[in-house]
Structure 1
Amino acid sequence: MSSSPSESQTEVLAPEECWKYLQASYIGRLAVISGASPEIFPVNFMTVGRTLVFRTAPGTKLRALLTGAAVAFEADGMNAYSTEVWSVVVKGKPGSFDGDPAALHEAGPDREPWQPGLKEHVVQIDPTEVSGRRFAVSPRSRWWPPQDLSADWT
């Protein structure tokens, strides 16, 4: 980000603000390591207390989660006027959901997976780090047309 005073500044969010955004969200991206490769999956999620919870079926994602290796999760969004965006990243350890099943219904009674099929594994992410940021959207004229960035890759 440029230090020009005419550009919006990124605001670092306090953990409480991050959780408010997460509680109001329902889809994010889960990043795991599968073997030697990073993988990213969209997931429907909910918050239960200070954990993230989602359902999944057997497959690559579940196999990666079962290793117990740290994961990263990101949710982001935009305000109703499309003038401000936010992003929250949660890093932590995955595990089987160990809370009260009634808490799942209370946290998100209408939050069901979008993809059809049985999702019998309920996973929670216990955060070790929660961070977020928010900033105003720059007008398109500020960032378009793209510049030739080929010099940056040499």
Structure 2
Amino acid sequence: MEIDANGLEVLGHAECLALMQTIPIGRVVFTEQALPAVQPVNFVLDGDSVVIRTAPGSKLAAATRGAVVAFETDDFDTTAGTGWSVTAVGQARAVRDPKEIARLSRLPLQPWSPGPKEHFIRISCHRLTGRRIVPVAPGSGGQAA
């Protein structure tokens, strides 16, 4: 197990993807009018890509068109003091191929906000990193279990 300078476990590529599949909501980080912006979205993994479903004229659809974005998802248990965070960085692109749209429409990705969401955005995970809070064993003097 690799531990970083902050005492967090460094997660490998496969484990990052596996953890991402357990959470339905993430955050897209993009640029809007030259300023950083973050939008929570529901998503599904399709291979090594994040797929988001949104409205064609949405702010998110316009802002992410061909842009390099970050996508983050996490899970924390405040009672147990455990959790993890995964961040993907890659290019976002609108899905335009009718066959791919039909296939993506069958994925378990239901919009959580009202209104029609027939536009798909694919974020390729060129860089995928993750960290996990390592539980501290009782009586270990702060050393990870």
Which TM-score tier does this pair reach, normalised by the shorter chain? 0.7 to 0.9
Distance 1:124 1:81 in 2: 35
Distance 2:118 2:26 in 1: 19
Runs of 4 or more, structure 1, over 6 Å off, are none
Structure having the higher helix fraction is 1
Aligned ranges 1:136-151 → 2 under 5 Å: 136=134
Q: Which residue of the other structure, out of 19, 23, 27, is the alignment partner of 2:21? A: 23
**Structure 1 residue 52 displacement after superposition:** 0.4
Q: Retained in 1: the 8 A contact 2:61–2:94? A: no
CA RMSD across the alignment: 2.3
Three-state SS of the structure 1 residue aligned to 2:111 is coil
Per-residue CA shift, 1:8-45, capped at 9, x if unaligned? Answer: 82001000000001111110000110121111100000
Q: What is the alpha-carbon distance in structure 1 between the residues aligned to residue 25 and residue 80 of structure 2?
A: 18
Partner of 2:143: none
Q: Work out the CA distance in 2 between the residues paired with 1:61 and 1:137.
A: 37
1:82 CA drift (Å): 3.5
Q: Which residue of 1 aligns with 2:60?
A: 61
TM-score (norm 1): 0.74
The structure that has the greater radius of gyration is 1
**Structure 1 segment 71-82 matched on structure 2, within 5 A:** 71-78=69-76, 82=80
State the TM-score, normalizing by the size of structure 2: 0.78
Q: Give the secondary structure class of the aligned counterpart of 1:45.
A: strand
Cα distance in structure 1, aligned partners of 2:77 and 2:48: 23
1:70 aligns with 2:68: yes
1:133 offset after TM fit, Å?
0.2
Counterpart-to-counterpart distance in 2, 1:122 and 1:103: 8
The AA in structure 2 aligned to 1:61 is L
Number of equivalenced pairs? 128
* Percent identity of equivalent pairs: 34
**Stretches of structure 2 lacking an aligned partner (at least 5 in a row):** 137-145
Structure 1, unaligned runs of 5 or more: 139-154
